[in-house]
Structure 1
Amino acid sequence: MRVDEITPNVDSDALLAGAQFIDAFRIATTDPGLDARHATEAMVARWPRWFEWLIALRNLLVAPLGLKTTGATEGVDRDMIGIFPVVSETPERLVAGFNDKHLDFRLVVDIAPAGSARSITATTLVLTHNWFGRAYLAVIMPFHRLIVPVMLRKVGG
């Protein structure tokens, strides 16, 4: 299954005003009943083991700095998909993400007709707040570019 990096086609100001980073990847699917929630659930249902190790290492390193290790907020009942809080949702678009001290991020999953198929687009937006956020983004970027296509392949086909 082919995943293409595409030019992002979202209103970044409405999703995360001031975002300094935005990218998008797309895959086709033949599932006519797929909606954005089910696509997102399939994307984050199971991570590759190498990614789980990276997340565990990340959480170990950032917890002492007071950064969030998941999007869950203690004492707040939120709709979550995996570690991501749902910000907004329609059948065609799900926006997930959270704000933290070093950066804010959004994952946008869009479902759209594409001829006889449907396309699934995953768009990531990031707004950094300080030098640590910029450094963190630089460190995770190579892994981000690997994991998003892996996530999309779990849905497409």
Structure 2
Amino acid sequence: MGDAAQSVSARTRHPSRRAVSIMVTAILLILFSALPAGAMIRRSTYHPLPVINVSYETGAVSGVGRQTDLTITDKGPGILHVQSISVDGERLLDQNSHLRIAPGHSYMFTFGWAGGPGGGPDGPTVVIDSDAPTSPTVLHIGYQ
């Protein structure tokens, strides 16, 4: 064989990088065309979650009345969104007025209720609806 024949033979046995690239691209297109739309999109988004912490202090206002200071604190890395706060079913914060508490910050509100130890009604139940993973937060206020 002459030099020209040997050169053609060598090109046939060893495809160029461009030809290999085209073949690999074609194979990948065929393989990935069988996947459903959006199957290759993987978004790794981190959304920090809030951590709700609720504390209260109750004091006597009169012989039969009590007053409770309730503090809601966000102890997590994410913003806490409170949708509603209710005391024995009465909404103090309704679902149309959202409350945002930044991480490390607190919100305090005060409410009064009738009763006391020795024959009075049980303490009220507070329900806090929020975007915390443990929501709703239910707290039974006792006598102190």
- What's the TM-score once normalised by structure 2's chain length? 0.29
Which structure has the larger Rg?
2
Q: Which has a greater percent of helix?
A: 1
Q: Which has a greater percent of strand?
A: 2
Structure of higher RCO (CA pairs closer than 8 Å, 6+ residues apart): 1
